[in-house]
Amino acid sequence: MSDMCYKKVQHTAYPLRSLLWELISATEPDNWVPYYNFMALPIPKEFVKEDPFLQKLSEKRDFQAGLLKIPPHTVYNWHVDTDRNCGLNMLVYDDGQSKCIFAPEGMKIVMPTVELRYAPNIFYAFNTKVMHTVINFTTPRYMFSLEFMGKDYGLTYEQLLADLKELGYGS
């Protein structure tokens, strides 16, 4: 059931994660902007060139990458994303306890769930049209996330998985 919620990209994104952490550390708090209930920081295009997978994806698809920040002791309630069908995520920093949980059969009193346990330096294709929630605990949680834009606005999760296979990063 996890494949319909998320899919691991066969690629290790070192050293992008440490570069993103440097960006976070160097950014004034005022430069984060409100974005769909998160605080967000757009990522300059130069960062895409630091990662061979993102570089390849950018040759095929138009996207904007950003960092999303959730404060400590915060839950992002069950939802599906309104403005995108899929995304591509990598956890940059948390306290090791934050949770991302999908409900592939939708909301019920008692319902099956699928947890996405983010491994370090790993991207995941994320089906934002499956109900999901984020629970954060003791520290700010920083997520790399990209959304498809321009000619690729509305790209579906299935199309993204097909891209990963075509580019040699699928499974």
Q: By beta-carbon distance, which residue lies closest to Fe ion? A: 81
Selected from 4, 56, 81, 167, the binder of Fe ion by CB under 5 A is: 81
Whether 69 contacts 145, CB under 8 Å? no
* Shortest reach from residue 142's CB to Fe ion, in Å: 15
Whether 146 contacts 87, CB under 8 Å? yes
H runs (alpha helix) in the chain: 16-26, 46-49, 52-60, 157-166
Please tell me whether residue 99 adopts helix, strand or coil conformation. strand
> Please, which residues have CB within 8 angstroms of residue 113's CB and are 6 or more apart in sequence?
101, 102, 103
* Shortest reach from residue 133's CB to Fe ion, in Å: 8
How many Å is the maximal CA-CA distance in the chain? 46
Find the part of the chain contacting Fe ion (CB under 5 A) among 22-30, 73-81, 148-156, 162-170. Answer: 73-81
Find the part of the chain contacting Fe ion (CB under 5 A) among 58-66, 74-82, 94-102, 113-121. Answer: 74-82
* Shortest reach from residue 127's CB to Fe ion, in Å: 10
How many residues lie near Fe ion (CB under 5 A)? 1
Rounded to whole angstroms, the Cα distance separating 19 from 161 reads 26
Choice between 61 and 132, CB closer to Fe ion:
132
Q: Is 152 in the site for Fe ion (CB under 5 A)?
A: no
Residues that bind Fe ion in the complex, under the rule CB under 5 A: 81
